[in-house]
Every structure is written in structure tokens, then in C-alpha cells.
């Protein structure tokens, strides 16, 4: 039960990351165009952020790992998306003023808008591995299955956003959707934590 929940939450995180990344292109285009270097900036920032996130998430999992803390990462990621919804125009205006070259402009704007939320989202994968791993022997399989689920989530997030969401919703609506997915995922993790600990308490009483 707990395992299945963690896996579905990791799926949601994978989905949200790519949903967010695709919208990045739409957000930057009015200021920096939709040229190949704009996508270059976005992908660079996302890859860099994820790599940092993996590193921090792995470290973080060393100290008292719990589903509670796992849930907090989701909630933090959700909250980190909110400034993008409200301040993206101000940020891009300011960057446009300072940097004339759209390559560095888009790189700077992507960094300011996407780095922090994506770092936090990147923390989820290694932390999930820590929570799911039961033994040294099965750790590779656990990690493999987790990457399968979260990357599948990314694939589906990509196709659904680019094929349908942009046709049905405005960019900010999709960003709020991403926020909600991450926030609700965090709440579910917290709920699992409290259910789990009360179950353990009952078990302890029974013993």
C-alpha cells in the first residue's frame, strides 16, 4: 500500500516536471522568441537543476528519512512554482532590460524562474529510492522501477501538455494544475505518514 502510493506520487512528480518544462518555452517566447537557443536555455537549466536536486535529495535522505519529510518536498516544490505564475512577466521584463542577447537573456530568465522549483522536484527521485529500498540486494531493482515510473510520468506529462492542455487551458491555468498536483501529492504523503504511524502505535499497543 505504502509502496504503491510512493510510486504513484513519483509518477506525479515526473509528470509535473515535464509539464512545467514545456510551459517554459511558451513563457519565454514573447520575450526571447522560440528559437532553438531558447529551448537550449530551458533544457540546460532543467538538467542542471535536476542534477543539483538529485545531489541534495540524496544527502537529505541520510538524515531521519520519513514519508513525512518526503511529503514536505512535494509541498515545497508546489509553493516554489507559485512565483512563476505571478512574477514571470516582471522577471522577464527586467532581464530583457539588462541582457540584449536573447541567448543569455533566455538563459538568465530560465534560471531565475525554473531553477529553484526544479531543484526541489529533482530531490524527489533519490528520496523515493531511500524510502522504497528494503534490502541492499533489491536496491537496484527498486531504483530501476522507480525511474521507470517517474520517467513514464514525464513522458505522459509531455504529451498531454503539448497535445491537449495548451489547447484547453491558458498557461497559468496549467501552472496552477501543476501546483495542485504537487501540493495534493504532498498532502497524500503526509496522510500516509500519519496513518502509518498510528498503525504502528496500535501495533505497539497490541504487543
Contact residues: other proteins, CB under 8 A:
26, 29-36, 96-97, 100, 102, 163, 166-167, 169-172
**Minimum distance from residue 14 beta carbon to other proteins (Å):** 24
Task: Report how far residue 41's alpha carbon sits from residue 29's, in angstroms, rounded to the nearest whole number.
Answer: 12
**Minimum distance from residue 21 beta carbon to other proteins (Å):** 17
Judge contact between 40 and 104, C-beta under 8 A.
no
Residue number with CB closer to other proteins (148 or 169): 169
Residue number with CB closer to other proteins (9 or 174): 174
**Minimum distance from residue 167 beta carbon to other proteins (Å):** 5
Query: How buried is 68 (Cβ within 10 angstroms: 0-12 exposed, 13-18 middle, 19+ buried)?
Result: middle
**Minimum distance from residue 163 beta carbon to other proteins (Å):** 8
Residue number with CB closer to other proteins (14 or 157): 157
Task: Report how far residue 110's alpha carbon sits from residue 92's, in angstroms, rounded to the nearest whole number.
Answer: 9
Backbone angles phi, psi at 35, to 5 degrees: -70, 175
Residue number with CB closer to other proteins (69 or 103): 103
Residue number with CB closer to other proteins (87 or 147): 87
Query: How buried is 30 (Cβ within 10 angstroms: 0-12 exposed, 13-18 middle, 19+ buried)?
Result: exposed
Angle of the 2-32 helix axis to the 36-60 helix axis, nearest 10: 150
**Minimum distance from residue 42 beta carbon to other proteins (Å):** 14
Amino acid at each position: 500500500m505504502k509502496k504503491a502510493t510512493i510510486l504513484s506520487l513519483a509518477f506525479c512528480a515526473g509528470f509535473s516536471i515535464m509539464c512545467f518544462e514545456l510551459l517554459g518555452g511558451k513563457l519565454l517566447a514573447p520575450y526571447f522568441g522560440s528559437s532553438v537557443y531558447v529551448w537550449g536555455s530551458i533544457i540546460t537549466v532543467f538538467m542542471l537543476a535536476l542534477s543539483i536536486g538529485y545531489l541534495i535529495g540524496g544527502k537529505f535522505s541520510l538524515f531521519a528519512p520519513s514519508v513525512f519529510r518526503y511529503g514536505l518536498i512535494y509541498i515545497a516544490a508546489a509553493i516554489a512554482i507559485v512565483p512563476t505564475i505571478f512574477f514571470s512577466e516582471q522577471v522577464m521584463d527586467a532581464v530583457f532590460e539588462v541582457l540584449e542577447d536573447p541567448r543569455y537573456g533566455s538563459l538568465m530568465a530560465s534560471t531565475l524562474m525554473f531553477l529553484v522549483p526544479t531543484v526541489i522536484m529533482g530531490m524527489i527521485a533519490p528520496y523515493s529510492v531511500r524510502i522504497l529500498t528494503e534490502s541492499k540486494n533489491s536496491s537496484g531493482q527498486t531504483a530501476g522501477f522507480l525511474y521507470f515510473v517517474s520517467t513514464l510520468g514525464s513522458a505522459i506529462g509531455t504529451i498531454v501538455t503539448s497535445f491537449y492542455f495548451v489547447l484547453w487551458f491558458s498557461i497559468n491555468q496549467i501552472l496552477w494544475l501543476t501546483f495542485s498536483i504537487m501540493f495534493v501529492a504532498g498532502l497524500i504523503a503526509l496522510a500516509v505518514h500519519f496513518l502509518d504511524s498510528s498503525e504502528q502505535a496500535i501495533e505497539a499497543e497490541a504487543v
